[in-house]
Each structure stands twice: as structure tokens, then as C-alpha cells.
Structure 1
Amino acid sequence: MTNKLFVLLILFSSISGFSQSNLIGKKAPEIKIEKWIYPKIKVANWQVREVPSDLSGKVVVLDFWATKCAPCVASIPKLNELAKRFPEIVFISISFEKEELINRFLKKMVMYYPVGSDPTEATIKKFGVTGYPETFLIDKNGIIQWQGSPFKLSEKILKKAIGNSETQNSLSINDSEFPHKNSAYDFTLKKNELGMNEASYFHYSPFDINVFNLDLPTIISAFYGYSKSRLLFKDTLLLNNTYDITLKANREVTTEANCMEIFKYLLPNNLEFEMKNIEKDTFVYVLQVYNDIILNKNLTKFDYSGSSKDNLKWRLTGATLKNLKNFLENEYNAIIELKLQLDSKFDFILPSNDFEATVECLRKEYGIELKPQKLKTKFIEIRRKSI
């Protein structure tokens, strides 16, 4: 499977299902796997059960995923937690990958449920799965009751499936996977050691933050709003790792804004770094509009904003000039100063991986100039905390 669609959604978005069809309310196709692969890492207070030869009469959570799909791997702790809270439900997963690759992965990752290898995609095709991850909830009668992202699978949905609003068999989570736990939030942070290379994932929704295999500059840029080009690391050891982070806030005692503030407080405290605003003289590019007639020809017609990239072009949709400034700083490691603030939103199509060509494109196609100038500029200095 060389053309698999691995869905990676960027800032402040959530995963949605990408199956060809919605199977909710329909009879679940047969789940036929010749050999189930079981986790290699044992957990002291949890025993992964064998998959029953007959799943009829069972409530089943079936997750389709892959070892090189960052959102898929990032969702495993969430499914582990649910599997532990609901032992009366059968949790299983299926990958199109071969047994050898799955076994190598399971030597590094804790999983509370088995994996079925489906290299011929017999079961995958029956469920119409074309994007990953994709999860199905099947009731005791074999009817699909829920379908979508594993990140959106909740206790409420599972309790409804087993016909019990207050399940008696649920277990409390109290182990090393969830070390920072109190009435307001659960927080975990660890180095990513799965060898995922550049495959990464970032998910934010109210009261639920999930970061997978991201480096510290990317995390700081996303959560604090600083472009990477303005981050000055006094200790390069802080750049050597990527991290997996989860934060689940209790919506009964916190607010959405508090959830973000909790994350911004816990991150530097757990990694023992501090941030300081400084100013210094440096050469920057001043972004200014020299022809607003040309620029206004590119006013957006869309209600949403976003970006996408192929081998030749970057496409920015519904972007303000401030969005453009931040994009240029992060993409080209440049320092951009914006002299004009506009609320209007525009669509840009810019060359990929070529700053000089981008500068020329902005001048000709959008009436925007980037002029080099020496200015006193704000930076964020990041250093380890003093002991």
C-alpha cells in the first residue's frame, strides 16, 4: 500500500472520518483476521485478552490504523484508557501492514488491545476505510452504532452502547501513563522514541490537547503564538528531542481558556525551561502594500482559512496580512515586520521552498513588497531554568 492516505490535521482542528461511506445503522461486515498480534510490552495491572473466535453478542470497538500514521499512533493512549475503563467491551485494531512491521512497533509501544494484520485489505475494504485512523463501534446485535475518529470516541458513547449510563465494571486509571492527575486535569509528557521521523500530529479541541512527535520549537510556536524564527535557544540540548503530550481538562472545574493556560504553564515546568522577551537590532523584511488594487483582486470568497502544500505551490486560503507574515516567518525562517494591519482576508498561491521567488511573486501578483531594513526587533530567548 504505497498510496495510503495518512491524514494529518494541523493547528486547532480535529480528525474526521474519511471512509467512502457511512455505515452507522448498518450490519457490520465480517471481521476476518487469520492471526491476531498481541502487545509485547506487559502492563502490571492489565492483561490483554484474546480475541473471541465468535464476536456475536459482544460490543466491539474496531480501530483501523497504521504504525507510520502519526494521528493513529497518537490515539493509542486514548484507546488504552477506554479499554481499561470498559473491560466489558472488546477492543481490537486492524492494520494493512504485515506482521513483521507490526511486531517491531509493538516492542516500543504499550497497547491494551491486539492488532490484526490485513495486508490483502479484505476486512479494510469491507468497512470502506480509505483514511486513517477510522474507528467503529459495533453493538451486541452486530449493528454499527458509531463511526469516526478515535479521538471523538467518548465514555458517554460507550456507556450508551452497553446500555448502562453508569457502568459498574469501569476501572480507574492510576499508572505511569497518567502521572499528573488531579481534579482539574490529566497531563502526560514523554520523549517520543518510536522512530516516526517527521510523521507528527497536533490536535486541539476544548479541554483536550494531544501532541505527538513534535519538537519544542514547533510546540512553542503553536501554543504561544511565536514564529520559530523569533525563538532563540540558549541551550541546544532542548532541540534534540521530540515529545508526546496529552492534556485532558475537567470541563466541570475549568474553562477552555484555562485548559490552554494550564498547558502553557505545565510545558516549561516539566521540561525545565523558561522564556524571556528580549529586543535586539537585526535585519528584517518589512511587509507593506504598494498596490492595494492588485491585492484586492485576491480577496477571498471562502468562509474558512487554511493552508496546503504540494511539490510546487503553497496555497493560503482566507489569510490576513498577519497570517501571511506568520506563514513567511515559519516557512522561511525569516523575520518579518508588518507595518499595516488589515482585517480583510485574501487567497495566496506562493512558490514552495524558494524565498526569493516568493518575494517576487508577492510583488507582481499581490502588490506586496518585502523590503530589508535594520530594526530593533522582539525575540523570545529560551533557556534552562537556573537551579
Structure 2
Amino acid sequence: MGTRVAYPIQIKEMAIQMKQEDISVKKIMEELGIKNKTQIETWWRWYRNGENHRLAQPVGKQYSYGKGPEELSTEVQLKNENKFLKMQIEVPKKVQRVGKEVEPEVFVTLVKEMRGKLTITELCRLFGISRASYYRWIQRKDLGKLTALEESVRHLCFLHKFRYGYRKITALINQKYKVNKNTVQKIMQKYHWNCRVKMKKCSKVGQPYRVVENKLNRQFSSEAPLKKLVTDITYLPFGQKQLYLSSIMDLYNGEIVAYTIGEKQDTAFVLDTLNQLPETADCLLHSDQGSVYTSFDYQNKIKTKGITMSMSRKGTPSDNACIESFHASLKSETFYLDGLTNEPTSIVIETVKEYITYYNEDRIQQKLGYQSPIDYRKSAA
């Protein structure tokens, strides 16, 4: 077994400083007389992890020397805490976006600017970023070298939270200047900016069984507003209590014309949504065969409003595909995308309301000529 060498703390600090200046490990070993490169790697790891106290660790200590910062004097602990709290106030001013939305280019630049003031570990902790993410970012050769077109694509992908595929991104860019959709697709694939929602699923085929006549018969297009409507209920299991969403969509432009969020999916719940329609709504309303839709009160209200009812076949959700697709988009593009799984009830409700507003007013659709539902209705009028 080889003899272990004890290096002075000054040598360790000089090795770390040279490593910061991107000097090769081989040259550091030659200049400082260090025999094993793993020594330098170990010191560098301690430095990155904010464990500078371990530089004074005696030879042969295989455990976390001194248990870390808590072994420091009270005065030193307070000084370090003061320093970190001060940086929590000053550092965020250097960037416009923090937390999950901080961009790689901004954070990598910030780390360079704060070298010597804060460790990488402290900065990562401050912005809620893992160190693994930071080291992955600095290895990217493309960092900070985007062309004008790439920057446009990046901006739109981030703006819409990766809800759009390359066709919609191309349509938005083409509003200003022409670009081929294949070019946009290659850019999104290169930088991993692809749409992150709606994983492909195999449809389940159920045995059709007709109880109420299906008058819609999957004719999901309409020539005028408020002539063909579809409705459904979906679960919202993302908060501290179970919530439900009842919504009605106009097949003319895919606009959500009425919706209700509640804690109980009873007849009163769906009637609240139905009552938001105009009293003179002479239209076809399609739903599934849920008990709330077949109830006496609901059917009586349908008759009062002069609405014709249509129902899907049993076990065939594809008969109501449009509203099913909307509910899937709502969940995929908000709760699943942002990782919201146990939020306060108020946050769940606000998230749904904000998304429906976004869906109606801003979210473009290919079938509408890359316009939002409301823009399409206005342009047609």
C-alpha cells in the first residue's frame, strides 16, 4: 500500500484556483507536485459542494470531516448565513426570471459573474436548480449561439410552455416572415423544444349499445355559431379535494361557451353550465349517457330551452371526441406540464379559469387557419 501524502491547505486552495481558471489537471499536478489526479478531483468536488471546511481534513478521514458547517464557530456560521441572505436579495436582481423558468444562458453567465462570492451549490440552491442541470448546461456547445430564427422559435416555445408542435410554431413565425415547417421542426428537435404534452394513446374500442339516438353521429363541424354543442364532465384530481369541470363547447370554432367548476357532479352542477347558454339556443347538444344528463330535471330544462338532445353510444367516448380532447389538453398543458399534483383548491380553480381564457382567446388551432376560437368567430362575422 502506497504512502499517503498530506498536502498543506494552501496547495489545495491553489489547485482549486487553477481549476477555476480552466488549467488542465496534468499541468496542476506538475506545478504543485501533486502525485494523484483524484486528489484534485476530490478537492474540486468539495469546493463545488460548498464543503471548503473539508480542505483542513486530516489524511485518512473517509467520513464527512467534522460533520460540516455546524462544527464552525457561531461567529463564522452567522457570517456565512449573513452572506447567503445578502446574496438572496442582490443576486435575483441580476436576472429577470428565477426558479423553474430561469434560462440556461442567464444562469451560466450569472455563475461566472458571482465566482468568488458564492459557490455553485449556493447559487443552485438560491434559484432552485440542481447542480446536475448546471453542469449539463455548461457542456452545451450551442449555449448562447442561437440564430435569429432559432431565437424566434425558442421564444415561442417558452412563451406557450411547449404546448405547440412545429406546425403551430411555423404558423406564428409565418405571420412575420416566411419559413419552412421542416426547418422549424429540425430546430425544435435539435434543442429539444418539442411539444411536451399529449402522449399518443391507443383508443379503447367498446361494444356499442344505443340507448338514446346519436343525432350528432360524429359530424364535428358546424356552419354557424351555437348550432352544434358538445358537453362533458371531467375530474380535476390535482388539489387537496376532488373537483369536477363541466364544460360546453361550440363545434363551430371549438370555443368553450360555458363551464362550471364544482365539488359534486350532480344534476344541479350540469344545470348551472346549461343555464349559461342563451334562452333562445335552438341547437343540438350532444353528451354521453351519464345519469346527470338523462335525469328528469336536465331533460326538462333542455326541452324548455328548445334544445335537441343527442347522446353517445355506451362505452364509446370517441362519439364525443372534441370535448374529450379539450379536457385532455387542459390537463396536459397545465397540471401535468407544470407538475401540479397537490395544490390548494383556489390554485386549481384559477389554473382552469386561466387556461380556458387562454384556450378561447390565444391558443391557435390548425383547423381554424391557425387562429384562436374567438379570433376565428370574429373574422368570420
Shorter-chain TM range is under 0.3
Greater strand share, 1 or 2? 1
Q: Greater CA radius of gyration, 1 or 2?
A: 2
The structure with higher relative contact order (CA 8 Å, sep 6+) is 1
Q: TM-score, normalised by structure 2?
A: 0.22
